[in-house]
Structure formats: structure tokens, C-alpha cells
Structure 1
Amino acid sequence: MKIKAISIFPQLYEPFTQVGVMKMAIDKGILDFEAVNLRDYTHDRHHTTDDIPFGGGAGMMFLPRPLIEALETIDNPAGSWVKIGIAPQGDRFTQRMAEDLAHEERLLFVAGRYEGIDERVMERLDMAISIGDIVLSGGEVASIEIIDAITRLLPGATGNASSTGEESFSSGLLEYPQYTRPRELDGGVVPEVLVSGHHANIARWRREEALRRTLIRRPDLLRDFDLTDQDRKYLSKVLADLRGILD
């Protein structure tokens, strides 16, 4: 997969290419990543990339012309790259979105700054993504989060391919609790089922714990989750226990 990110601070991406999953993917030839300096597409001696917004108001905005020139230069022929803007008004980033994007061949991110991206540039993009209802100094950090989530889904990018399918949101549920040695730590004990060696019981415990955690922390995820009759029975018991505590 090829990924590029347009930014006025391309150096922000460099540390993430030197460690972890991005470095592994790059070293294996699975990921080809480049941070593109937007100032390379300016034509004045000061390499200006911003100006005040029409209509007044605080802050500055990216000039549309350098961004358009960068997009047209990279996305040539037109449509060869999926062009993605990082913006608060974009679609909320999810694991399902990461899985869909991981099947693309070329992704081009635009990391906005200041007060946003000129709407005439946004209209040239294929999609806009938001990582949540928060305000960041720029789109670099948000795009790194998205790129990391996509990269670790690429075949061979991680050391254990099966682990990415068992994590939170991959199944539609939050992940079940995890433990490692020692079995006892400051009074906390690993659940007996996990050291029983009974794989069916372990699988059922993990399923139930994932359901319980999702119900308590992210009940909205259950609306679209395909629950079995056994799942519903277990969740009803959890709800009854919670009501008993609150009564």
C-alpha cells in the first residue's frame, strides 16, 4: 500500500516511521509512506500557505491553490489515489472504516491546520474523516492515528496476524479483559477459567466479558451487533444484576 500525507509540518510523521508497526510495514515493503511538504507547492519567496478567511473571524486558513496543485500533482491520473481530508465535520473514524481503507492501494491524506480547509478544496476530496468531537492543533496527529489503524491491518504488518482480529471493535464488541503472569498480584487473581485449559469455557468467558464490558461502557455498539439467544440471555442477567446493585 502507498500512503502520502500533505502537511506543512511533514517532520511530525517521521518518528512514527522509525518505530512500531509503521516501521515494520515499511521495512517489509508492505507500506510505502511519504509525508509531503505543502510549502513545496507554493510559488512566493515566503512559501505562504495561509490567509485570513472571507467574512472575518479569528484565525487563518490554508490557501486553496497550493493544496489543489499538490492534489493534482500527486493524484495523476485523476482518481488514482483516494483523497482524504481530516476535518471535524467528517465521518467519525471507526474500525470498520479502517478495514475498508486497508483494501485500497493508494491513500492521500490532507492534514489541515488553522481554521480549516477551503471548501473548494474539500469538494475535490473523496471523503473527510474525524477522529472525534475534539479540537486539535492540526490534522497530523489525527491522520497518524488513522494511518496506524490501517497499517496494522495490512497482511504481514504485525507479528501476529490473528491478534488484530480479536481486538476491541474488530468483532463489534469491546475486547475482553486480558491477563499475564504472575497469577496473583497485590491481591488481584487471574480468573480461574483462564488457567483451566478448557478452551470452550475460555472462549465463552471471553465472549461474555466482551458483552458485559460493551454493555456497560459502549451500549451503542450493541444496537448493530448480531446477538445470539445465549448472548441476550447473558446480557439480561447482567442488567438484572446491575439493577439489583442500584436498587
Structure 2
Amino acid sequence: MKIEVLTLFPELVEQVGAFGMPRVAVERGALQLSGRQLRDFSGNRWRRVDERTYGGGPGMVLQAEPLAQAIEAARVAVGPAKVVLMSPQGERYDQAWAERLSREPALILVCGRYEGIDERVMPQVDVELSVGDYVLSGGELAAMLVVDSIARLLPGVLGDEQSAASDSFSDGLLDHPHYSRPEVWRDQAVPEILMSGDHAAIRRWRRKQGLERTLLRRPDLLDSLKLDAEQIKLLREIITEQLHEQEGRT
């Protein structure tokens, strides 16, 4: 996959490809990552790409022409690509979006700055995405999050292909708890079931734990999920156990 990031700070976004799973993706040839400096398309000696907004008000806006030229140049460099604008006004970015974008041959990530971009460039944008309901100084950190989440999904990047499938949100639920050596740490023991060798029981325990975490921490996720028969049964068990715990405390 090829990813071009259009930004005022290409040196910053390119750093994501030097560490962790993105670095592995780059080294294995699964990912080609590059930043493109918007100021190279300024058309003026000051390399300025921002201007005051019409209608008055505080802040500056990224101008249409340099941004449009940068998108066109990126298309030439990477070929057919989906153009993604990182913006707090976009659709919420989640694991489903990461999986969807990881199947694209190329992406052009546009990093907004200042008060945003000139609206007239929006016809060149395929999708607008937000990494959360908060405002960053620019889209660079958001783009780096997107690159990292996509890189680990590319073929051959993770050592165990099942790792991505078992991550939080991959099936719409939070992940189950994890334990490693030693068996007892500061008087806290690893749950016996994980030491049993009973793989069916372990699988069921993990599914139940993931459901319980989701119910307690992110119940909103359950609203959009279609649970299978086993998950419905486990969820009923969890709710019954929680009710018994509450009764025991009263």
C-alpha cells in the first residue's frame, strides 16, 4: 500500500514509519509512506498557504489552490487513491474504517490546519474522518494514528495473523484480559481456567470476559452488534451475576 500525507509538517508524519508495526510494514515492503509539503504549492515567495476567512472571524484557512495542486500531484505519484481529510467534522474513525482502508491500494491523507480548508476543495475529497470528539492543532497526529492502525493490518506485518483478528473492536467488542508469566505476581494469580489446557473453555471464558468489559466500559458498542446465540447466553449470565453481586452488597 502507498500512503501520501499532505501536510505542513511532512517530517513529523514520516516518523510514524520509523517505529513499531509501521516500521515493520515499511521494511517488508507492505507500506510506502511519504509526506508531501503543502508549501511547495504555495505559488508565492513567502511559501504561504493560508489566508483569512471570508465573512470575518478569527483564524486562518488553508487555501484551495495549493491544496488542490498537492492532491493532484499525490494522485500522479501513487496512482488511483482514496483522498481522506482528517477533520473533527468527519465520521468517527474506528476499527471498521481501518480494515476498510487497509484494503485500498493507495491513500492520500490530507491534514487540515488552522480553522480548516477552503470548502471548494471538498469535491476532491472522498471521505472526511475524525479520530475523536476533540480538536487538535492539525491533522498530523490523526493521520499518524490512521497510518499506524492500517499498517498492522497489512499482509505479512504481524508475526501472528490472528493477532489483528483478536484485537479490541475487531469483532465490535473490547478485548478480553491478558496474562503472562509469572503465574503469581504480588499475590495475584493467573485465572485457573487459562492454565487448564481446555481450549474450548478458555475460548468461552475469553468471549465472556470481552462481553463483560464491553458491557461495563462501552455499552454503546452493543447497540450496533448482532450477537450470536452463545454471546446472548453469555451476556445473560453476566447480567445475572452482576444482579447477584448487587443483591449481595445490599
CA positional deviation for 1:92: 0.6
> Deviation digits for residues 40-81 of structure 1, max 9, x if unmatched?
111211100111111111111111110011112222499811
Which residue does the alignment assign to 2:230? Answer: 230
2:151 is aligned with 1:151: yes
CA RMSD of aligned residues (A): 1.7
Which residue does the alignment assign to 2:190? Answer: 190
Which residue does the alignment assign to 2:29? Answer: 29
CA positional deviation for 1:151: 1.0
One-letter identity of the residue aligned with 2:230: Q
CA positional deviation for 1:229: 2.9
| Partners of 2:88 and 2:243 in 1: CA distance | 37
One-letter identity of the residue aligned with 2:70: A
- The 3 A distance-change label for structure 1 pair 77 and 180 is closer
| Partners of 2:229 and 2:65 in 1: CA distance | 57
CA positional deviation for 1:217: 1.1
CA positional deviation for 1:237: 2.8
Which residue does the alignment assign to 1:64? Answer: 64
2:25 is aligned with 1:17: no
Structure 1, unaligned runs of 5 or more: none
| Partners of 2:182 and 2:71 in 1: CA distance | 53
| Partners of 1:168 and 1:181 in 2: CA distance | 22
Give the TM-score normalised by structure 2: 0.94
CA positional deviation for 1:195: 0.8
> Deviation digits for residues 8-63 of structure 1, max 9, x if unmatched?
01111232221111111111111111100101111211100111111111111111
SS at match of 2:124: coil
One-letter identity of the residue aligned with 2:209: E
2:153 is aligned with 1:173: no
Which residue does the alignment assign to 2:136? Answer: 136
Whether the 8 Å CA contact 2:79–2:106 is kept in 1: the answer is no
Identity between Structure 1 and Structure 2 (%): 42
Which residue does the alignment assign to 1:101? Answer: 101
| Partners of 1:92 and 1:148 in 2: CA distance | 16
2:203 is aligned with 1:206: no
> Deviation digits for residues 122-180 of structure 1, max 9, x if unmatched?
22101110011011111000011011111110001122221111010111211000010
One-letter identity of the residue aligned with 2:150: I
Whether the 8 Å CA contact 1:2–1:106 is kept in 2: the answer is yes
SS at match of 1:100: helix
2:142 is aligned with 1:161: no
Whether the 8 Å CA contact 1:179–1:190 is kept in 2: the answer is yes
> Deviation digits for residues 157-210 of structure 1, max 9, x if unmatched?
122221111010111211000010111111221100001111111101001101
CA positional deviation for 1:239: 2.0
Which residue does the alignment assign to 2:53? Answer: 53
Give the TM-score normalised by structure 1: 0.95
Which residue does the alignment assign to 1:42? Answer: 42
| Partners of 1:55 and 1:169 in 2: CA distance | 42
One-letter identity of the residue aligned with 2:183: R
Which residue does the alignment assign to 1:120? Answer: 120
Structure 2, unaligned runs of 5 or more: none
| Partners of 1:69 and 1:109 in 2: CA distance | 14
